[in-house]
Amino acid sequence: MKTSFSLPRLIWSAFLASVLGASAVLHTGCIVAAVGAGAGAVAYLRGELSAPLDASYEEAARAASRAIEQLKFSKISQKQDVMVTVFIARTAEDKRIEVKISTVAKKQSKAQIRVGLIGDETLSLHILEKIKSNL
């Protein structure tokens, strides 16, 4: 009785399936979400949330500072120049949070939020919503 498959082909198929499965596992979180369309889109890419803010750079930086205080994070540092403000904070669980506010235009700025080394989309979105509520 002759079989319709060959052993090398079966091994190749198993190898290919395992490589594709491993690739899917390793790349989970690289491009997790892109919410919205066009210039107003919120993107979560490689553990970092990036979103436009309809506010001046100064207003957005103040809103981010207030959000960190309201969420009761421990503010570790704040570095600021005329184009970028970077806040470093820690949660009660000692997760590192970095919030970067940068200028885009006169009444447009951008927030970039990273939680921990690999990111936390849920907490990042919560921080973004708190920043927006302070604008």
CATH number of 29-133: 3.30.310
Q: According to DSSP H, which parts of the chain are helical?
A: 7-26, 57-70, 121-133
| Dihedral angle sign, alpha carbons of residues 66, 69, 70, 73 | positive
Q: Which residue in the block uniquely carries the two structure tokens 């470093």?
A: 88
What's the pLDDT tens digit per position in 7-30? 566 666 666 666 655 555 444 444
Q: Give CA 3 to chain center in angstroms.
A: 51
Higher pLDDT, 37 or 111: 111
What's the pLDDT tens digit per position in 45-87? 999 999 999 999 999 999 999 999 999 999 999 999 999 999 9
